Structures are given as structure tokens and as C-alpha cells.
Amino acid sequence: MLAKRIIPCLDVRNGKVVKGVNFEGIKDVGDPVALAQEYNRQGADELVFYDITASHEGRGVILDVVREVAKKVFIPLCVGGGVSTVDDFREILRAGADKVSINSQAVKNPQLIKDAADIFGSQCVVLGIDCSRVKTQNPNSQNTENEHTNSANISEQKYTVFVNGGRIDMHLDLIEWVKKATELGAGEICLNSIDTDGVRGGFDYDMLNAVCAVTNIPVIASGGLGKIDDFYDVFTKTNASAGLGASLFHFGELTISQVKEFLREKDILCRIAAANASHSQVNS
């Protein structure tokens, strides 16, 4: 069976990793190639580069980053941030990425999911969703939602999808969006809970379960990672296929190898990377 995946996410601006990554032995902590190599050494199952470059001029830089990483790190690479067309997909995949992540643009133009999946295959279309629990719900107004709630006992909770980095509420129901995206051919869903993101109190298990109940494509848990046990919880309380982490890994509070060893001791299926990596010296 498939191993559960642990995925570090790197935010890249103008070719540099931001969010103060802190590793011993790496001089330039902003160097995406050095960090990718380090995470690969630790046993990361995939790497996500999220391009937060604001300017148009900076956009080409992420492609150079991918090209350089793809020459030295041989695990699946996913790139997201600002992707809005099939041509963007093509460019990123040609640079050496294996997957492309889309988010806001897919909400605005769902056809992008289908177009990209038809051309490049579902396996490289990762749909990022930023989502929050609806807080204004009145318990007495349930009758307005029969249409949605009769499909499952998923949860009494309602969730709504946000775009533009979690700033704009699209008043789009999460469950409906997941079903639609699955039909359109999304290959994976990276579900980021706005409610748990940054809180470090664990992933949003209810939200993950609500999504896993209505789709069979892999779901990546994002937002809320605070300690090693959170990975155990996400793989035992939900059907998530992968857990995404950022600052906890970047600050060196946890290494991926520690997480993998911890999970393996608890009988969670995961890949332990080779202890000795000895090919790279051929050219030197």
C-alpha cells in the first residue's frame, strides 16, 4: 500500500526561500537548492515550492529554481503560486516540476482543472483549498440546507472556501467544491485550514474528515502542525494521504527523519530514506 507522505513546503520570493529557515551547516538559509537537498536527505517524500513573488519580473525566477533543484534532488516536486493558465502549467512542468498547485484561479475558473488534467494528466493537478468554518451559522436555520446535508452525516459543520491567500470569502461550500473539483479531474487536494493555520494546535481533523468523505483522491493536510504527535493524529483520525509542514521543519524543531521514525514505531506506513547517500561525489 502507499506510504503516508511528509512534505515540507518552501515559500520562495524572487528565488529565495523566505520565512527564516534555520539549519545547521547551511550557510545561505535562503538557498532553495541547499534546502531541497537537506530535506531530501532527511527523507522528504515530495517538495512544494510556493512562489510568493509579487512582481511580474520575478516570475521567471521560480522556473530557474525548479530547474536547479531538479538537477540535484530526485523526488517529486510541486510548484504553486500565481498559476492561472494551461501555459503556466506547461512552463512549470517543462522546468522539471512533476506537479502544479492551483488555488484561487481554479475557484475563479474551474475549467482550468479539467483543461490541465486533460493535457498533462490528473496526477500533476494539485488543488489547494484555503478554507474556514462558517461561524455565523444559526442552529435554527438548518432547514435551508437540506439539499447539502442529506448527502451524508459528514458533519453538522459548514465550511467555506477563501481565495487570495485566505483574504476573500467566496461563499463557496467546501464540500460542493471538492466534489466538483474531483469530477473535473483534480489529482490531489491540499486542504489548508485557515482556522488552525499558524495556531500550532494540530491539523483540522473535522474539516479533513468532511473532505475525505466525499472524494477518493489523495488529500494533503495543511495548517496547524505544532508537534510530532500531530502527524500520528492526522494519519489515524483521518484518511489524509500526506501531511504538509513549514515552519516546524524550517526552524529545525523537527526533522523529517524524526517524524518518519516516530510514525514507523507506531506502525504507520512511511518511507525511510536511505541512510547513506553516496552518488553525488562522482563529478567532484
Partner 1 sequence: MAQTKKAAQNKKKNMVAIIDYGAGNIFSVKNALDYLGAENKLTDKSEDIINADKIILPGVGAFPHAMQMLNKNGLADVIKTQAKKKPFMGICLGMQIIFEKGYEFCECDGLGLIPGKVEKIKDMGLVIPHMGWNKLEKINGSNIVKEDNIYTYFVHSYKAVCDEKYIAYYCEYSEKIPALVQKDNIYGCQFHPEKSGEQGLKILENFINL
DSSP letter assigned to residue 229? H
Phi-psi region of 157 (alpha: psi -120 to 50; beta: other; left: phi over 0): beta
Please pick, from the candidates 53, 103, 104, 122, the single residue that binds partner 1 as defined by CB under 8 A: 122
Residue 40 binding partner 1, by CB under 8 A:
yes
Distance CA 171, CA 200 (A): 26
Residue 267 binding partner 1, by CB under 8 A:
no
Distance CA 139, CA 162 (A): 23
Shortest CB 57 distance to partner 1, Å:
25
Shortest CB 87 distance to partner 1, Å:
17
**What is the per-residue binding string for partner 1 in 88-117, x denoting contact by CB under 8 A?**
-----xx-x-x-------------------
Which residues neighbour 104 within 8 Å (Cβ) at sequence distance 6 or greater?
Answer: 163, 164
Which residue out of 11, 45, 88, 206 is catalytically annotated? 11
Nearer to partner 1, 81 or 218 (CB): 218
Residue 5 binding partner 1, by CB under 8 A:
yes
Torsion angles phi and psi, residue 70, rounded to 5: -65, -15
Strands 219-222, 242-245: pairing kind: parallel
CB 178 within 8 A of CB 129: yes
Residue 33 binding partner 1, by CB under 8 A:
no
By the criterion CB under 8 A, which residues form the site for partner 1? 1-3, 5, 40, 43, 45, 70-72, 74-76, 93-94, 96, 98, 121-123, 187, 216-218, 241, 271-274, 277-283
User: Active-site residues: which are they?
Assistant: 11, 130
